Amino acid sequence: MDSDFDEFLHVPARLTIVALLAPASWTEFGFLRDAIGTSDSALSKHLSALAAHGYIEVRKQPGTGGRRTLARLTPHGRKAFLAHAAALERITAAARAPRPIDSDV
């Protein structure tokens, strides 16, 4: 396995979250929930796990009608995401590479 492949980050919901956060500054909880198509509780668990690993920062602010929850990648999270994405690219490139025909098949 590629040394930059991050099994923790590879969980589909987590990978989607960091991919959504990568081009943004602070991103609202509701946007992430709707983009991923998950429940509040499931998203909250993934955000907590990502924050515990230092991949994201979560901020709660007062907002209209209650608190707003915002998230963004940390520098560590951005580096991990980019390394994982590069590992996935290398893995898929290797799978697409031409191989000699195996005469035993």
How high is the pLDDT of residue 102?
64
- pLDDT digit string (tens) for 15-64? 999 999 999 999 999 999 999 999 999 999 999 999 999 999 999 998 77
- For the chain, the domains span 12-94
CA 5 – CA 100 distance, rounded (Å): 27
How high is the pLDDT of residue 91?
94
Interior angle at CA 43, CA 40 and CA 45, nearest 5: 110
H-state helical runs in 1-105? 12-21, 29-36, 40-52, 75-96
In a 3-state reduction of DSSP, which class is residue 68?
strand
CATH top class, domain 12-94: mainly alpha
What pLDDT band is residue 103 in, cutting at 50, 70 and 90? Answer: low
